[in-house]
Chain A
Amino acid sequence: MWCELCQGNFFDEFQMEGVAAEHNEIYLELVPENLSRALKTAQSAKAVKIKLTNKHCPCLRVAVELPSLSSSSRIVTHDIPVGVIPRRLWNDFREPSVPDFDVSIYLPVLKTMKSVVERMKNLSNSIVIEANLNGEMNLKIETDLVSVTTHFKDLGNPPWTSEDGCQSSAQDRDLESMAEARIDIKKLQQLLAGQQVNPTKALCNIVSKRIVHFILLHEDVSLQYFIPALA
Chain B
Amino acid sequence: MPNETTPLRAGAVNVPYGHVIGNEKWKGSQITQGIQGKVNLILEDGLGIVDFHLSNRSCILYISEADMVAGNGFKRRLVQFRNVCNLQGIIIVEKTQISNQYFPAVQKFVVLELGMTLVPVANQGEAAQFIIQLVHEQMKDGASNPFLNKRSPTLLEASLFETVQQIPGVGKTKALLLLKQFGNIYQLCNASIPELEEVVGRTLAQQIHTFFTCAI
Does A pair with B?
A: no
